[in-house]
Each structure stands twice: as structure tokens, then as C-alpha cells.
Structure 1
């Protein structure tokens, strides 16, 4: 982000005196990251380009390209936005967010909601109290509660031994160490390790790591990496094995998944901007 650009990193939450506030950021050639924090307002993250992950207690959530992520007020969270991203942040007061989910969730974004957010983010700072702005906020809130939830999160744990695994694999997702090898590193039996992972995440280690790979892959693909690059960077010997994993989890291969989302976004934009 440029130094003059509005940033959620320095948004003055204590001075927010409207039901809704929005701003738009564009990252440069490097990722932007914000350490764990919390605020009273609920927060919608809407990704127009790139991707954003958000770690909350017990889970790592992803807001994929052209989708959104809802973070309720008071929830501690840390954000990481990919390089060359375009993201809108919408902050909703406690009262206005009363009908929103009480826990984090990924949301679909309708073309109408998308345009409402963009319009609100482009308004001057003094505008939120104008009658027109207040009507816009009311429509935005009405649309927000209607958005469908989508599942795209990774259960994580603060258990010290598993935290080591989480941090190591987030740093190097291509690490293909087996559960037996991880158990050995953590000075426990493979059976104990498997039981601990299941207890803390609700998944087997293999399924958990696959979910991690999906979230990382979607981030990288949204940032412009090719399927072949992503497969190699995740440690797959061949792109075909990665494509098979992705298709099984998401219902279609990665290229088609991204193409359909971009096509849908293009169609939504055409509908919204049509003079008819």
C-alpha cells in the first residue's frame, strides 16, 4: 500500500460513529500482514483480486477471490493479504451487526452487495452522515445478512506441539513428512500424534494437510501462479496429482474453478453496469 492510502491497519475504530464504514486497499509487490487484534465492530473482507487469510482462535479462514469473509466483533484475528491484491474492508457497528453470524464464516458476494461496498468505500470521509449515505448503508446491511455462507477454513490449535506443526507447514507447505516423522520430531508415538490431531482439529493428519494445501493453493492461484507452479511448490511430483486432489475436494479442476469464478464476476459486473 502507498503511504497515503487508507488502511485497515490504522483505521480509527474508536472514532467510528456510523452504522457502516468501508475502505479499499491495494497491496503492492509484497504481502501485507496485521498481527492479532480485535475490535468491537464486525468486519467483512471482500476480495476483488488476490486473496486474504485470517487466523482466529482455533481456525485459519480464507476469503477467496470474488468472495468475502465475515469476522464478528470482538473476535481476535490476524490478517494476511497476498501481493498485488485489491481488497475492501467493511466495518459494521455492534448494533447493526446483530443479525449477522456470531462466528467467522466465508460469504458469497452478490453483484449488488459488491457495488454497494465499492460505492461506500469511494465516498468522502465526511459523507457517512448524509441522508443518501445512510440509505446506502441500510441497503448494504439488508443485503449482507442475505449472503450465503461457504466453508473454507482450516482448523488450527494452540496446543504447543501442534502449533509447531502448523507454523512449520504454513512456512513450508511442500514439507511431505509423514505423520510418523512428525510424531518422532515431537517425541511421541505415531498413534498419540494421530489422536492429538484428531482431538484438536476434528480431522486426520492427512485430511488436515490436504485442507491446508487447498487454502494455500487458492491463495497462490489467485495471485497468478500457474497450476504447474502451485503443484511443484506444494511438493507434488506431478501436476496431475495436485489436480486430482483439487478436483476431489472442490468438484472441478483448478483451472476451471478459477475460470468459472472470473467468468461469473465478469457477468455480475456487466449486469450491474448495464444501462438497461
Structure 2
């Protein structure tokens, strides 16, 4: 029998009132599964910085969740970024997902603020020095679009842990072997911290393909065929595929799973139920 994993969820900050209700509905549907933590993202270019902060405080205070707030280097000075971190600490938030962050749309690439952090390593070091936070970072089992070679992401992850990271959360992937190969390379490089696989139950195959292409994640041809033929059964197919991948990850020694909910709780909750994670 598959052992029951520890789980966590990622949410988007709401951009308007309708989205606020959507976030509440998502959290209401998932919080009774007792996630170890939940994270709240930043929009590209830091566009949801204030909304993220408000959502983090709300989830922490109203729902009593352990919230890991995303914090990026984009379009802010070091002082401004650390002031945001201080505000999180003052609100009782003790975890941060420290990321370089995506550049604003149309920017063509990341350019550090003249008075800001040059990359995620500098941000992690500065946050670690405060002693206030448990730090989680990003990891890329498939090569990041800016990576020089397939080992570049592993080497950079090692630097993140050396800088003070406590654990890493991967970008989503389609094949559990992709995660296992990355984990093995990371261990061989000297990474000893926990690496949590990021799981994306597929709510829209068209949308996921587009997102995958933008972040360098290879799209398996057989999935294209499966979703083309699925028709009205696409949701059940998504649940079955995600459940199967999670079971294989658990069988391969994974204890923790991080679900990208896209603020749509039903798929993630169904997969968790299949894995034995319930509110009972």
C-alpha cells in the first residue's frame, strides 16, 4: 500500500473581487486536508506584490495556515524587498519562497534593479542572515530556458542551499523519471536538502502546453494524443495521470508533494483523496 504523503498547495493572489471569492473557495476546499504549508505567488514583474502580501496575511490569520510567501528580486531595491520580508515576519509569517522572479511581460529577460538583488542567491543570503525565516527555493528538473547546459540548474540549486535554503520546490514535469534523474544529480552534486516535486493536475491541456513551452518543459506526445481523445473525460484523465505520477514518486522515496492548484481545488483534492490524504 502506498504511504500517505505530506502535502502542500500553491495559490494565486486574487486580482479582483471575483478572484478573491475564487481564492476563498479554493482554500475552503483544501485547508481541511491539513497541508504542511501553502504558498502564494507573485505575478510576473512583481505585478501582484501588494495583493500577494494581503493574501498571505489573510490565509495566515483567517485560516490558520502556515503560509510560505513568494518573494522575488524583480523591480525593487534591496531595502524595499527586505522591508516586505520584515512585514511578513511582523504578521507572523515564518516561511518565504525566495525566487529571482520572472521579468515583466515584454521585457525580453531579467534585468536587476540598479539597487536590487542581482539574483536569487543574493536574496537567499540576505534573508538567511535575518534568521527570521525558513527558506524554500525553486528548482528545475527540466533545464531552465536560460540554463547553459543540463547540469547548470543542479549546480545553481547547490548554490541556493549553500546560501541558506532549507528546501526546494520543483517546476512541474510530466514524467516521474524526470524528477528522479534531477534528484540523483542534485545528490551527486552535494545537495542534502529536501527537494519537493511540484505537481500540476491538468485543468486545461491547451493552457498547460502553452505554459510548458514558455518554461522549457518538454511535452510528451502521448499526452497530446490522450487529451485529444479524452473529450468529456479530460478531467478524470487528469486526475488519473496525476495520481499515477504521485504514486510512482512516493514509491521512489518521495515524502512530500507540492500541488500547483491554479486556484481550482477539485483536481488537487481528488488526487489527494486517491493518495489517502483526507480530512478525516
Q: TM-score, normalised by structure 2?
A: 0.27
Larger Rg: 1
More helix as a share of residues: 2
Greater percentage in strand: 1
Q: Which has the higher contact order (CA 8 A, sep 6+)?
A: 2
